[in-house]
Amino acid sequence: MARDDVRAEKHDDGREAQAKKHVAVMKAVFGTETRASIEGAAIVEAGYAPEAVVPEGADSTAVSFASGNAVTAVFHAEKPVAVLDPASYRYAGGGYLRGWRGPEEDLCDEGNLLAVLEAFQKTYYAPNKQTASGELYTSRAITIPDVVFSRNGEIVKASVAVVAAPNRMRAMERNRSERECDLALAERVDTAMRLLAGFGATTVVVPAFGFGRRGDFAARQVAELFHEWIAAHDGAIANVVFVLRRGDDADAFKAVFADRWHDDEPEPEPVVDAVEDDDEEEDWEKYRISGE
């Protein structure tokens, strides 16, 4: 399908208009909360994520798997809660305002996250466009307190760590080696978990990060990195909830975490599959819902 046809299809389904309306409503209703989150947010330069601290006498980290999307997991989690935003490195909210869907877009769709991220266009996203590092990106991140998530009149606040996983397929197309991709992914997982642990939340929610799209890393490889980090910092976070789709990805994580996960959730529901396109600037079609 031609790219212009995809754009037209996107406009037909109304998601772009809904997204813009949602952001306007969030800015109007949660203006005070949005400003407070912006003021409390911090850009963490690559290599400067603080080391995670394991509290004395802490219990072993419990791992579980959630159905639905990350916002569902945030609402169900034991509070306080923090969530990883698997972010676009160049664009606030990824393709949300263009009507696309994915893990970051799900977070933007039920709260004021995008309204907060837009405040960092000049200080975070614009500089990032100059440091894409052959699509490996860097571990430059944002930490945001008290992001509002709203569903059916209920409101929950969560801390958010904004971190971009390397784009493995694009990086290898630009002659980056497999080893460079693997090292970048390991660095990114370490950064994400350090920042999430630093919030001091009881529960950390982790959506699909670095896997799930054509050309991405294998889910098992990602799971092993998270497992290694948790084992090395056991107790730094009380509960980690991975949001996974039904099938091979969930099976891979459950196999890797067989030593510590507990099955207190229903089988995960499918999440949006992402589709790559050939856009040099941003892979907007990766947010297109599979089958549309």
Structure tokens at 162: 């904004």
pTM exceeding the 0.85 threshold for the entire prediction? yes
Distance in angstroms (rounded) separating the CA atoms of residues 8 and 82: 36
What gap in Å lies between CA 92 and CA 94, rounded to an integer?
6
Task: Determine the pLDDT at residue 260.
Answer: 87
CA dihedral sign, ordered 76, 25, 38, 188:
positive
Backbone angles phi, psi at 205, to 5 degrees: -105, 130
Give the pLDDT score at 56.
87
The one-digit pLDDT tens for each residue of the chain (292 residues) are 333 322 233 433 688 999 999 999 999 999 999 999 999 999 999 999 999 999 988 999 999 999 789 999 999 999 999 999 999 999 999 999 999 999 999 999 999 999 999 999 999 999 999 999 999 999 999 999 999 999 999 999 999 999 999 999 999 999 999 999 999 999 999 999 999 999 999 999 999 999 988 889 999 999 999 999 999 999 999 999 999 988 899 999 999 999 987 665 444 444 444 434 334 444 433 333 323 3
Give the pLDDT confidence score for residue 261 in this predicted structure.
Answer: 76
CA 74 remoteness from chain centre: 13
Long-range contacts for 287-292 (Cβ within 8 Å, ≥24 apart)?
A: 287/94, 287/95, 287/96, 287/98, 287/100, 287/101, 287/102, 287/105, 288/6, 288/10, 288/100, 288/101, 289/101, 292/9, 292/13
The pLDDT score that the predictor gives to residue 68 is: 80
Residue 283: which domain range? 3-287
Place of tokens 């109304």: 14
Do the domain assignments include residue 292?
no
What's the domain count of the chain?
A: 1
Q: Are 20 and 97 in contact (CB under 8 A)?
A: yes
User: Does residue 58 contact residue 256 with C-beta atoms inside 8 Å?
Assistant: no
Q: Where would I find the H helices in the chain?
A: 3-13, 15-29, 31-40, 70-76, 103-109, 113-117, 126-128, 168-173, 178-198, 219-232, 248-256
Q: How many CA atoms lie within 13 A of 181 on its CB side?
A: 21
Q: Does 64 map to a domain?
A: yes
The pLDDT value given to residue 13:
65
Closest CA to 171 of 3, 283, 8, 289: 283
pLDDT at residue 266, as a whole number? 45
CA distance 188 to 222: 10
Answer whether the bond into residue 145 is a cis peptide, omega within 30°. no
The CATH number of residue 245's host domain is 3.40.220.10
> Do residues 265 and 65 lie in contact, with contact meaning Cβ atoms separated by under 8 Å?
yes
Q: What is the DSSP letter of 267?
A: P
The angle at the Cα of 275, spanning 273 to 279, to the nearest 5 degrees, equals 150
